[in-house]
Amino acid sequence: MDALIFLAHGSRRQKSNDEVFDLADRIRPLISARYDRVEPAFLEITAPSLSDVISHLLEHQAKTITIYPYFLNSGNHVEQDIPAIVEGFKSADPDCQFILMQHFGLSEEIVDMIVSQILQL
């Protein structure tokens, strides 16, 4: 089973968390040919946590777990916290392949997206 985790920060505001669940729901059918499961997860505050989701997927015999960090900036979360959690699981379960993607904010398309929004005003 190949899984993708859509990882966001987590917020005290339910509306903000709901946006993450909603994004995961919208992404899931669009990548279903490649990923058997697409699961939302949060780094802080909100459940389910990244560790809980990885543990759950490993219990269900995940062969690969790809983590997509939905973060804008290269802060401590992206550069330290997330890699540390993933590395911990890697050494604990060498049978599963973990792929930590670059975070959302590094996308080349962001500038075009911003410009198009501004020029639509």
Contact 23, 6 (CB under 8 A): yes
Interatomic CA distance for residues 51 and 42, integer angstroms: 9
Interatomic CA distance for residues 114 and 78, integer angstroms: 22
Site track for a second copy across 21-60, x = CB under 8 A: --x--xx--xx--xx-------------------------
* 59 versus 118: smaller Cβ distance to a second copy: 118
Residues in the chain: 121
Which helix H or strand E contains 100, and what residues bound it?
strand 97-100
- CB 58 to a second copy: min, Å: 20
Interface with a second copy by CB under 8 A: which residues? Answer: 4, 6, 8-9, 11, 13, 15-16, 19-20, 23, 26-27, 30-31, 34-35, 66, 68, 70-76, 99, 101, 104-105, 107, 109-111, 113-119, 121
